[in-house]
Amino acid sequence: MDEPTIICRCEEVTMQRLIETAKLYRCSARELKLRTRAGMGYCGGRTCRPVIERIARSVSGLTETDGISLKVQPPVRPVSFHMLGGDE
């Protein structure tokens, strides 16, 4: 089984790409996200953010306080109750 492990399904970013980028640039989690687009898909990093942060810490040696942490954004837009109810 030689298929790459996909960490960010939304942007199809592999574990290998994350590790190579982290090693090459000694990235913080935020920089790793910006360089690879991991965590920038529809889910907003809800599923892959912990792995991205773990890779950045283990490869670069940076701690959580060395950089700006990744934020999680909900993948939905606010909807008013009026729009849900259909009443005018």
Domains of the chain: 6-65+75-85 (1.10.10)
Tokens 């982290």, located at residue: 22
Tokens 């940076």, located at residue: 62
Q: Where are the alpha helices (DSSP H) in 1-88?
A: 15-25, 29-36, 49-60, 81-85
pLDDT band for 9, please (50, 70, 90 cuts): very high
* Assessment of whether the complete model's pTM goes beyond 0.85: no
Q: What is the pLDDT of residues 24-73, one digit of tens each?
A: 999 889 999 999 999 998 888 888 999 999 999 998 776 655 556 666 66
User: For residue 6, which phi and psi values (nearest 5 degrees)?
Assistant: -90, 125
Tokens 């942060």, located at residue: 53
CA dihedral 8, 12, 14, 19 (to 10 degrees): -70
pLDDT at 17: 96
